[in-house]
Amino acid sequence: MRRYLDRTGESRFDQEFAELGESGRDSILSHIGNTPLVRIRRVTEGIDRVAVFAKAEWFNPGGSVKDRAAFAMIREAELSGALTRDKTIIDATSGNTGIAYAMIGSALGYRVVLALPSNASTERKAALRAYGAEVILTDPLSGTDGAQQRVKKIVAAEPSKYFYPDQYSNPANWLAHYRTTGPEIWEQSEHSITHFVAGLGTTGTFIGTSRRLKEFNPDIRCVSFQPDSPLHGLEGLKHLGTSIVPGIYDESVADEELTISTEDAYEMARRLAREEGLFVGISSGAAMAASLKLARDIESGLIVTVFADSGARYGSELFEVDGREQSTRNAGLEDQRND
Ligand SMILES: Cc1ncc(COP(=O)(O)O)c(C=O)c1O
């Protein structure tokens, strides 16, 4: 992958990436990236000298930030010859990356096989199948590790049949953010970003975006956050202390590291929906909570964070319990209101 970091290699990749390849041109895939940057105003009330903005990543066609990485890994594999027309894209993910592979595979005409624990949500399985992906259900007791082991077995048995992107150690993952998310934030913030905040999953978003932003301005402080305990409900994020650290992670990139509790993330996701008109997912609630912690700590600045996906992807888990509480509260206190 070094070649992408030297001038010659970079210009070659960038040009072909921009052109999307023959089958991607003019397709839905040309709408990956260039997501809006929105200002958070009400949740930050009382904090005057710091502005907080968020990248609205659910505007991507597959509904999440992972479209960027999945597309970059697939394009890079097409360019390097690792992915050819006769191959099947295979991976183990029930999350946003799986949906991104399924969408991109459908748009480009590749077969996609995804292994996931059988207890993955019905909506997730339905979305993957709707895009035409083949879903292999694995033992729920062995979680995503079990799904990953199954994929490795399948690939080992017939290596020439499959392309296995392996997002945790594939440099095209972070390079997607180095090439797109970083420059977009730099331009959209009119070069005035002072702090970048992002959560760690595969770590591609944080590593790639931070590396690029620091090239634009080495004074930009990059702050990562992760769940505060191994048993957490922040889907898409990893508690690095107790997980296998992704191969693409580089601990020298973060200037500061924060931890966020599941409760704070859920509460903040609800507030973003109610107070900002932003119906976002749980990791976005965590991103906002981390940004708010930071905003309270610094004198002044412009913080940019990433809202990875929409609350629609979580539905009842995120909002139902609160909805019940809310209606009880409204019945007692605000029963005259009829809006
Ligand atoms: C909802 C959500 N938030 C955050 C992330 C983390 O992004 P990354 O994998 O680039 O670290 C993911 C990754 O899957 C995700 O699905």
pLDDT digit string (tens) for 74-104?
Answer: 999 999 999 999 999 999 886 899 999 999 9
Tell me the β-bridge partners of 257: 224
In the chain, the largest separation of any two C-alpha atoms, in whole Å, equals 68
C-alpha 237 – ligand 1 centre gap (Å): 6
User: Residue 337 has what pLDDT?
Assistant: 29
**Residue from 283, 284, 291, 310 carrying the catalytic annotation:** 283
* Distance in Å, CA 67 to ligand 1 centroid: 11
Name the pLDDT band for 314 (thresholds 50, 70, 90): confident
Cβ pair 238, 191 in contact under 8 A: no
179 or 3: which leads in pLDDT:
179
Strands 111-117 and 88-91: parallel
Look at residue 61 in the predicted model and tell me its pLDDT: 97
CA-nearest residue for atom 1, ligand 1, is: 236
Cα–Cα nearest to 178, from 132, 220, 216: 216
Mean pLDDT for the chain overall:
88
Q: What was the pLDDT predicted at 24? A: 64
DSSP state letter for 310? B
Q: Is the CB of 98 within 6 Å of ligand 1?
A: no
Check if 221 has its Cβ closer than 6 Å to any atom of ligand 1. Answer: no
- Of the two residues 188 and 26, the one the predictor is more confident about is 188
For the cut 50, the answer to whether the pLDDT of residue 5 exceeds it is: no
Whether the Cβ atoms of residue 197 and residue 235 lie closer than 8 Å to each other: no
pLDDT at 103: 97
Q: What is the pLDDT of residues 232-259, one digit of tens each?
A: 889 889 899 888 899 999 999 999 999 9
Contact present, 113 and 136 (Cβ < 8 Å): yes
pLDDT tens-digit map of 319-335: 665 444 444 333 333 33
| pLDDT value at residue 191 | 98
Enumerate domains of the chain plus CATH numbers: 2-59+174-319 (3.40.50.1100), 66-163 (3.40.50.1100)
* Angle at which helices 66-80 and 7-19 cross, to 10°: 110
Ligand 1 touching residue 202 (CB < 6 A): yes
Name the residue of 55, 57, 58, 64 whose CB sits within 8 Å of the most ligand 1 atoms, as the mutation to test its pocket.
64
* pLDDT tops 70 at residue 3: no
For residues 335 and 290, give the distance between their C-alpha atoms in angstroms, rounded to a whole number: 35
